Structure 1
Amino acid sequence: MTTKPTRNAAHREPISETEALRVDLEQTRQHLANTVQQLSQQLNVPHRLKETAGQAGHRAAEVAGQAGDRMKDVPAKVKQMPAMSRQHPKATAVVGGAVAVGVGAAAWMVKRHR
C-alpha cells in the first residue's frame, strides 16, 4: 500500500511513507477505541436497565397524572347519566342487562370454586 506523501502542516515538509503509515495507524487505533467504547456502553446491561427503569418511572408518573386529570371529570359525567338514560333507554337497558349477566356469572364462578 503506497500512500501519497503529504505535507506536514506544522513544518511544511513532506511526510515519509513510514510517517504516513504511522498517522494512518493512529487514526485506526482511535477509531477502534471509539468503537470499543460504544460497544461497551451498549453491553453495560445494569446501566441500561437503570436508564430504562428511570424512563419507565417518568412515563408512569405522567400517565398517572393524566388519569388523575380524567378522574376529575367523572363526578360530572355520573351526574349526566340519568339524563343520558332517558335519552337512550334501549342502550341503557342493554348495558344494564350486560352488567347483570356479568355479576351473575361472577357469582356463579365464585360459588362453583368453593
Structure 2
Amino acid sequence: MTTTKDTQLSETEALRADLQMTRQHLADTVQELSYQLNFPRRIKESAANAGHRAAEVAGTAGHRAAGVAGTAGQRAKQVPALTRQHPRAVAAIGGAVALGVGAAAWIAGRGK
C-alpha cells in the first residue's frame, strides 16, 4: 500500500530527473549554438578537413599515375618489336600524322 508520502517522493524524484534532463538538453543546445557562432574556428576546421581530403586524393592519384606510367613504360618497350612486325601499319600511321601536322600548319598559315 502506497502512502501519500511515498507518492510525493516519487513525484519529487521524477521532477528532479526531468529538471536534470532539461538542464543537460539546454547545455547541449548552448554548446551547439556557441560552436555555430564561432566562425573562425569553423573556418579553420573546414580548411584542415579540406587539406586532409586533398592529401588523400593526391595520394590516390599518385598511386594511379604510377600504375599508368608503369603500364606506358611496358608498352613503350614493345614498340620496336611491333614496328618490325607491322612495318606497313607504322608507315601508314606516320604518314597520317605527317598529313595532319601539315594540314594544321597550312590552316594556321592561312589565318595570318
TM-score by length of 2: 0.52
How many correspondences in the alignment?
A: 101
Identical columns (%): 14
Unpaired segments of 5 or more residues in structure 1?
A: 1-6, 8-12
Distance 1:102 1:82 in 2: 23
Which position in structure 1 is the counterpart of 2:47? Answer: 49
Change (3 A) 1:18 1:62: closer
Change (3 A) 1:76 1:25: closer
Which position in structure 2 is the counterpart of 1:28? Answer: 25
- 3-state SS, counterpart of residue 10 of structure 2: coil
- 3-state SS, counterpart of residue 44 of structure 1: helix
Change (3 A) 1:106 1:75: farther
Q: Per chain length, whose mean CA-contact separation is higher, i.e. which structure has more relative contact order (CA < 8 Å, sep 6+)?
A: 1
- 3-state SS, counterpart of residue 73 of structure 1: helix
2:32 aligned partner, one-letter code? T
Change (3 A) 1:84 1:23: same
The alignment yields a C-alpha RMSD, in angstroms, of 4.3
- Radius of gyration: which is bigger? 2
TM-score by length of 1: 0.51
Change (3 A) 1:27 1:95: farther
